[in-house]
Amino acid sequence: MPTARETLLDAALAALGALPWSAVRMVDVAAAARVSRQTLYNEFGSKEGLARALVRREADGYLRGVEAALAEPGPPARRLVAVAEWTVAAAAARPVLRALLTGAWGERLPVPRPARAGSRSAAVPEQRRADAGVPSPGELLAQARDRAAAVLTAEPGAAVHSCELALRLALSYVVASAGVATQWEDPDSWRPMTPTITSVIETILSVDTRSPRKIIP
């Protein structure tokens, strides 16, 4: 059963489907989640804290999806393609994640402003983590890249270049197709048509993995 915190984050995300973040009211989020406003403020501290928590959850969910794609059976090149496809699908379907990956924050979205210097530390551990800051696009890409490199080869350092290349190709597709993306659809049940990017990644990585070193360089 979801916790009150998860229910509140779900309610905030649902509100964004109809309203810009500036018009989302804390009282309405609490009412939609069927909890008191005091519970909402206990969890997040403020609307800015709620924004940071929402963005932090999107980042964590993306990385869990990367790990799930890497766990699929198949050769390294196919699994890295799966990571690229997950990146495109998830970013196309989830505007907050798309902004996290590209840095393109629109006025409708909850831009994660840093916690004020000297402010009291949150009582909730998950909120302290969110208040510590969310990853920049480069940092999130590096986290996904490093996870892929660690899983796909016994020599992660040698795989970093190829993993980063695959992810950057995926992000270029996200940027190019952002104007036609479906915004609030479940990414697990929706896949964009990506034959070109899939073919490019598979070709590059199949050449790499056929090298005498038997690793992704």
Question: How far, CA to CA in Å, does 61 sit from each of 27, 45, 54, 57, 140?
Answer: 26, 22, 11, 6, 12
Q: Which residue has the tokens 């940092």?
A: 139
What does the angle CA 15 – CA 5 – CA 60 come to, to the nearest 5 degrees? 85
In a domain, 214, yes or no: no
| Count: domains in the chain | 1
pTM of this prediction? 0.83
CATH number at residue 36: 1.10.357.10
Q: What is the mean pLDDT of each run of 10 residues along the chain (217 residues)?
A: 93 94 96 96 95 96 95 86 88 90 89 82 92 92 92 71 86 69 44 60 60 40
What pLDDT, on the 0 to 100 scale, is given for residue 209? 45
In a domain, 216, yes or no: no
> Could you list the residue range(s) of the whole structural domain that residue 70 is in?
4-209
Q: Is 118 left (phi over 0), alpha (psi -120 to 50) or beta?
A: left
| Cα 172 versus chain centre, distance | 15
What pLDDT, on the 0 to 100 scale, is given for residue 155? 61
In a domain, 166, yes or no: yes
